Copies of this chain bind each other. A is one copy, B any other.
Amino acid sequence: MELELSQRIGKLKTSPIRKLIPYGEEATRKGKIIHHLNIGQPDIKTPLEFYDAVRNYFEPVLKYANSAGTPELINEIKNYYSRRKMNYSIDDILVTSGGVEGISFALTAICDVGDEILIPEPYYANYNSFFNTLEINVKAVTTYAETGFHLPSMEEFEKKITPRTRAIMLSNPSNPTGTVYRKEEIEMIAQISKKHNLYIISDEVYREFVYGENKAISFGTFKDIEDRVILIDSISKRYSACGSRIGCVISKNKKLIQSIYKLCQARLCLPTLEMIGATALYKIDDSYLEEVRKEYEKRRNVLYNELREIEGVIVRESEGAFYSVVKFPVKDAEKFAIWLLEEFEINGETVMITPVEGFYKTKGAGRDEIRISYAIDELKITQTMAILKEGLKRYLKEESKRY
């Protein structure tokens, strides 16, 4: 008799970011050098304060920590928010294993099987892992490259609301689009949440990375919806410490936080050393974050200037995070991405990009879109874009022959 797996685990798909990895590995085996425009791993150095704090820590017995996080770290997170004019008490903050644990906990606490989440698409594809294992249904509101992936009208959201809708979820600045929602958009979401009695799960891990005139307005600044708002945060990108796995979930809704605290207790605690390191990062003067922001802004500008020159491409300047979603003049971006790895090279070099189709819930949407990450430095962006441009030119020539 065969041993079966659960149906919920069967619903888990391979992430669209990881889907291309085997093709990349095969290309590497064949000796090609791959330049990565597909990754969300910043190359910015982790501040030495992290390592110093970890090295200076010693307790003869490395004990279980508090389930909510160490008081010192929670206090520094509180201070970080208070510098941004958001006054949270230490009881409003629970430390989580990166942003993802916060998302998983928030969804568990508010959604039962069959409940629904309203979300603008394209959205961070990894959210699906939690939607699927928790058996939550997604209602996606489509946004478009032509309008810089900004939100459509209130009616478009309301069309998708049912009695089972529990929350509106979004990332701001957005992964994958790099869009920073404007004041009117944030206010519209707040209004919908009140009118339809919904939570707002706001993933704000890229909050510090906004460019030009753009400002990341946190849902944490709205007093009248404070019991509805669940903030998701993380040090991964902010302090370039992805490998430390420290994030937090924040809410003024006491009942919600008490419930999520029970989930924290179930997994006992987070690693002490990582919380020690994270505490040191939060103590760094905010001018550090401004330096990092400026660095990404330069990269964004370089990338945008490269992209706008390509014929047939639809691109708006990325407003935040370190991503841009670009409409390419190809029928199927995944085929193009695979072609780049399998068939194309210049002097033994090629490029890896992320097709965006897997970031949409709506079937067939975004088929001609790619996500480009500018987590790499200016020079590399320029060099890699030159290869990508040449790749596109050849691909279009081959495509025109084929069809």
Residue ranges of A at the interface with B (Cβ–Cβ < 8 Å): 1, 3-10, 12, 14-15, 18, 41-46, 50-51, 54-55, 58-65, 97-98, 100-101, 104, 108-113, 115, 126, 129-130, 133, 135, 197, 199, 227-228, 240-245, 253, 255-256, 259, 262-263, 265-274, 277
Residue of A10, A51, A54, A263 most packed against chain B (CB within 10 A): A51
Tell me how many chains of this kind the complex includes.
Answer: 2
Contacts of A18 in B (CB 8 A): 265
Flag if A199 contacts B259 (CB, 8 Å).
Answer: no
Contacts of A7 in B (CB 8 A): 112
Contacts of A45 in B (CB 8 A): 60-61
Residue of B nearest to A18 (CB): B265
Flag if A265 contacts B113 (CB, 8 Å).
Answer: no
Q: How far is the CB of A354 from chain B (nearest CB, A)?
A: 15
Flag if A266 contacts B129 (CB, 8 Å).
Answer: yes
CA distance A274 to B274 in the complex (A): 8
Flag if A63 contacts B41 (CB, 8 Å).
Answer: yes
Flag if A244 contacts B267 (CB, 8 Å).
Answer: no
Contacts of A108 in B (CB 8 A): 6, 8-9, 133
* Extra inter-chain contacts (10) besides given A5-B110, A7-B112, CB under 8 Å: A3-B253, A6-B111, A8-B108, A9-B262, A12-B259, A14-B262, A51-B58, A98-B268, A100-B266, A133-B263
Contacts of A227 in B (CB 8 A): 3
Flag if B63 contacts A242 (CB, 8 Å).
Answer: yes
Closest 7 CB pairs of A and B: A129-B266, A243-B272, A62-B243, A46-B62, A1-B197, A12-B262, A64-B242
Flag if B14 contacts A266 (CB, 8 Å).
Answer: no
